[in-house]
Chain A
Amino acid sequence: MARAVMYNNIRRAKSFLASSALALPLMAMAAPGARAEGMPQLDFGNPYVIGQVIWGAGIFLVLYLLLSRSALPKVEKVLSLRRQTIETDLGIAHKAKTRADEAVADLHAARRKALADAQANVDKVVEEARLAAARQTEEMNARLAAEISDAETRIAQARTQALASVREISTNTAETLINQLSGIAAPADFVTAKVGSAAAARGL
Chain B
Amino acid sequence: MMMIVAALLVLAFLYVGMRPAAVVPGRLQAAAEMCYDFIYNMAVDTIGVEGKAFFPFVFTLFFFILAGNYLGLLPFSFAFTSHIAVTLALALMVFCLSIIVSLKVQGAKFFAHFMPAGAPKALAPLLIPIEILSFLSRPVSLSIRLFANMVAGHVMFDMFAAFTIMLAGLGFFGDIIAVGPVVINVALMALELLVGALQAYVFAILTCIYLREAVAH
Contacts and interface: CB of A to CB of B under 8 A. Distances in A.
A112 to B, nearest CB: 44
Contacts of A30: 1-2, 5
Contacts of B14: 67, 71-72, 74-75
A31 B80 CA distance: 10
Contact of A68 (B56, B74, B75, B82): B56
A79 B25 CA distance: 10
B10 A63 contact: yes
Nearest to A51: B85
B84 A56 contact: no
Contacts of A41: 82-85, 147, 151
A72 B80 contact: no
A57 B82 CA distance: 16
A33 interface: yes
B11 A85 contact: no
Given A31-B78, A41-B83, A60 B60 contact: yes
Interface size class of A (residues with CB under 8 A): 35 or more
A204 interface: no
A82 B147 CA distance: 40
B64 A60 contact: yes
A79 to B, nearest CB: 6
B119 interface: no
Contacts of B23: 78, 81-82, 85
Nearest to B75: A24
B11 A53 contact: no
At the interface, is chain A mostly helix, strand, loop or mixed?
Answer: helix
A203 interface: no
A203 B75 CA distance: 150
Contacts of B32: 75
Contact of B84 (A42, A55, A79, A85): A42
Contacts of B11: 63, 66-67, 71
Interface string A134-176: 0000000000000000000000000000000000000000000
Contacts of A34: 76-78
Nearest to B7: A63
A26 B11 CA distance: 20
A120 interface: no
Contact of B85 (A53, A75, A85): A53
Contacts of A7: none
A93 interface: no
Interface of A: 24-25, 27-28, 30-31, 33-34, 39, 41-42, 44, 49-50, 52-53, 55-57, 59-60, 62-64, 66-68, 71-72, 74-79, 81-82, 85
